[in-house]
Amino acid sequence: MTEDRTPQHDEPESRFLSGYDPHAFAPAAVTVDVVALTIRPEAGTGETGARRTGTPHVLLTRRAAHPQRGRWALPGGFVRAEDGPDGPADPDLPDAALRVLSEKTRLPTELHLEQLGTYGARGRDPRMRVFSVAHMLLAPDLPDPHSGRDTEEAAWVPWSELGHGEGSRAGRDLAFDHGRILADAVERARSKLEYTALATAFLPSAFTITALREVYQAVWGRTLHAANFHRKILATPGFVEDTGELAEHGGSGGGRRARLYRAGGAALLHPPLLRSTQ
Amino acid sequence: MTEDRTPQHDEPESRFLSGYDPHAFAPAAVTVDVVALTIRPEAGTGETGARRTGTPHVLLTRRAAHPQRGRWALPGGFVRAEDGPDGPADPDLPDAALRVLSEKTRLPTELHLEQLGTYGARGRDPRMRVFSVAHMLLAPDLPDPHSGRDTEEAAWVPWSELGHGEGSRAGRDLAFDHGRILADAVERARSKLEYTALATAFLPSAFTITALREVYQAVWGRTLHAANFHRKILATPGFVEDTGELAEHGGSGGGRRARLYRAGGAALLHPPLLRSTQ
DNA sequence: AGAGAAAAACTCAGGTTGAGAATAACGAGG
DNA sequence: CCTCGTTATTCTCAACCTGAGTTTTTCTCT
């Protein structure tokens, strides 16, 4: 299509490519790491009867192999650049992220996966230069994970047990620079809830406004005024659309049955739903 | 620090590392590409006298080597994973981005550099699997570029000559998937102007409110109400701070001299400065 | 039927926004 | 010096949005 722009030099591109040796470059590895976030009832809090509103959890694995054996880490693995003995190449980075995650837990049909960023500082992995493409995955209440190859243990860990970001509340410290990656993911999720309809990714296909508010409350870690939230959601075009149905049952204590909504078409919220500054 | 967590297995980590062969992995290359954005007077528009408000430009280079020889592309290059004959290793990805860019143009002391994302679909480069970490750089009025190795030509190209994103306004089509990367960068810049104080990255250390408004207008491609913009900027805590000085001269036609401001400490704008929906 | 609970609707004061008008400060030309 | 065109800055006001609290509706349980 742009043949006319090619300069009239000697060597055609096809001949150049056949003489190319990919191994001439310094070795560098590309991995994917996945910050899988879901909202599930806090483990251990065995309240019976009372409403379980759920808290955000992240999927962590304990490394069974060197380096950093025994430490908690994000699920991840090497990207398959070409077809090889381990299996076919990953067509793109999201495919690689879903592949490494599917070794740890069963993936739902509806999920949100986005790239967070790439971490490639020298020395972050002692083996060699490793460039790690971090992803963030959001999904409704995922089941308990199973261990995989190279993994001793895998578990959903509540955010409250981690020292993510501000303050030096030590928490579990993660292998490599995974603590930083996790902190970046949490901040990204919190921020995207303001400007996008991302919160619905934590919920099943039909949900109530209250459930949506509880997602915001869980991720932001603060309570919201229920009536104002309700008004705002319904006033934001394309955020949710009415299914016409009602929720099954309001729990043990009775109460009006909530209307069920599904995610609307809008990806961006106009105007945004800001965390108030107070 | 987490010695107590290390499982009591046989092999110590140090011995594991000494037997590690980095070349055992399939070859994959990591490159950086830079979307360098600046605001400069539209070339060719030789209006004398009238105010030149400037339009956004991106730095493009024409490839002198295979593959895709002769096509326009973003400036970029391979990341130096380890020390080698070409020079020392890049300590981190931003260093690599600045290095490849400095081969094309003189870098200012004040600039904003952030990572956009990594593009790694199979087949995007015919030589081998290439993972390209794209960066976005914003800087005030950069000088004309100079050609470098592997580059036939380098130029600041106005956005108006490119078919970035919506519509099929063909424009110059770029090598590899650089058209998509550029479109992503433009959308990122537009969006970040709403929620962050990023617009000041396009301006010198002291600037007027009008100059700041012209940045918004240039990037968003729409005019803004000057009085309301002024009120909003001054009402947003930490966006700008008064220098106490006045601008030199209002141009040819006279007019009140504008007050000069510098960038304030705030990175995020609360509340944001939204593109209105009309 | 009545109490309690949860959802949804209503009220209202205060703040923010969009649009336009008014005022202030400047250069140029009579 | 005085006036005009120009640009910056401030003012006004109606419409809208937001936070906080109250009321109404519709459930379950007793």
Mutate which of B2, B11, B152, B270 to test chain A, going by most A C-beta atoms within 10 A? B2
Q: Which residues contact B168 (CB under 8 A, 6 or more apart)?
A: none
Residue B166 has pLDDT above 50, yes or no: no
Average pLDDT, integer, range A202-219: 97
Q: How far is the CA of A172 from the C1' of C6 (A)?
A: 38
The share of chain B scoring above pLDDT 70, in percent, equals: 80
Q: A133 to chain B: which residues are within 8 Å by CB?
A: 118, 120, 131
Highest mean pLDDT among A47-56, B64-73, B179-188, B252-261: B179-188
- A21-40 residues labelled b (16+ CB within 10 A) or e (exposed): eeeebbbbbbbbbbbbbbbb
DSSP B196: B
Residue B131 has pLDDT above 60, yes or no: yes
Place of tokens 């067509």: A91
Q: How far is the CA of B237 from the C1' of D14 (A)?
A: 26
Q: How far is the CA of B193 from the C1' of D9 (A)?
A: 24
Residue B48 has pLDDT above 50, yes or no: no
Lowest-confidence range among A2-11, B133-142, B247-256?
A: A2-11
Phi and psi torsions of A66, nearest 5°? -65, 155
Place of tokens 């709403």: B194
Answer with the residue of higher pLDDT: B253 or A251. B253
Q: Which residues contact A95 (CB under 8 A, 6 or more apart)?
A: none
* Interchain contact, A30 vs B120, CB within 8 Å: yes
CB B134 within 8 A of CB B119: yes
Q: Which domains does chain B have, with CATH numbers?
A: 25-192 (3.90.79.10), 196-263 (1.10.10.10)
Residue A182 has pLDDT above 80, yes or no: yes
CB-CB neighbours of B79 under 10 Å: 27
* Interchain contact, A121 vs B277, CB within 8 Å: no
* Cα pseudo-dihedral B102, B103, B105, B106, rounded to 10: 50
Q: How confident is the model at residue B133 (pLDDT cuts 50, 70, 90)?
A: very high
Lowest-confidence range among A93-102, A189-198, B120-129, B213-222?
A: B120-129
What is the chain A residue with the closest CA to B133?
Answer: A118
Q: Which residues contact B51 (CB under 8 A, 6 or more apart)?
A: B251
Q: How confident is the model at residue B167 (pLDDT cuts 50, 70, 90)?
A: very low
* Interchain contact, A133 vs B126, CB within 8 Å: no
Residue A235 has pLDDT above 70, yes or no: yes
Average pLDDT, integer, range A147-162: 82
Q: Which nucleotides of strand D are protein-proximal, with an atom < 7 A from a CB?
A: 5-11, 17-22, 25-29
Asked if B209 CB < 7 A from strand D, the reply is yes
Average pLDDT, integer, range B21-27: 58
- B154-165 residues labelled b (16+ CB within 10 A) or e (exposed): bbbbbbeebbbe
What is the chain A residue with the closest CA to B16?
Answer: A66
Q: B1 to chain A: which residues are within 8 Å by CB?
A: 173
What is the chain B residue with the closest CA to A172?
Answer: B2
Q: Which nucleotides of strand C are protein-proximal, with an atom < 7 A from a CB?
A: 3-10, 16-22, 24-28
Q: A71 to chain B: which residues are within 8 Å by CB?
A: 2, 5-6
Which of A99, A88, A102, A104 has its CA nearest to residue A31? Answer: A99
Residue B230 has pLDDT above 50, yes or no: yes
Q: A78 to chain B: which residues are within 8 Å by CB?
A: 25
Q: How far is the CA of A51 from the C1' of C1 (A)?
A: 28
Q: B79 to chain A: which residues are within 8 Å by CB?
A: 28, 120, 131
**How much is the pTM?**
0.89
Average pLDDT, integer, range A196-224: 97
Which spans in chain B are helix H? 13-18, 93-102, 178-195, 209-220, 226-235
Q: How far is the CA of A212 from the C1' of D19 (A)?
A: 20
From A7, A27, A67, residue closest to B22, measured CB to CB: A27
Closest Cα of chain B to A252: distance in Å? 40
- Supply the pLDDT for residue A164: 46
Q: How confident is the model at residue A44 (pLDDT cuts 50, 70, 90)?
A: low
Could you read off the pLDDT of B75-130 as tens digits, one per residue?
A: 999 999 999 998 999 999 999 999 999 988 889 998 999 999 999 999 999 888 99
From A1, A68, A84, residue closest to B26, measured CB to CB: A84
Q: How far is the CA of A255 from the C1' of D26 (A)?
A: 7
- Supply the pLDDT for residue B178: 96
Closest Cα of chain B to A124: distance in Å? 10
Which of B101, B70, B76, B112 has its CA nearest to residue B196? Answer: B112
What is the chain B residue with the closest CA to A83?
Answer: B26
Across chain A, mean pLDDT equals 85
Answer with the residue of higher pLDDT: B150 or A183. A183
Measuring from the CA of residue B208 to each C1', which nucleotide is nearest?
D8
Closest Cα of chain B to A170: distance in Å? 12
Across chain B, mean pLDDT equals 85
Average pLDDT, integer, range A245-273: 89
Answer with the residue of higher pLDDT: A105 or B190. B190
Strand partners, B72: B62
* Interchain contact, A22 vs B127, CB within 8 Å: yes
- Tokens matching residue A178: 């995974």
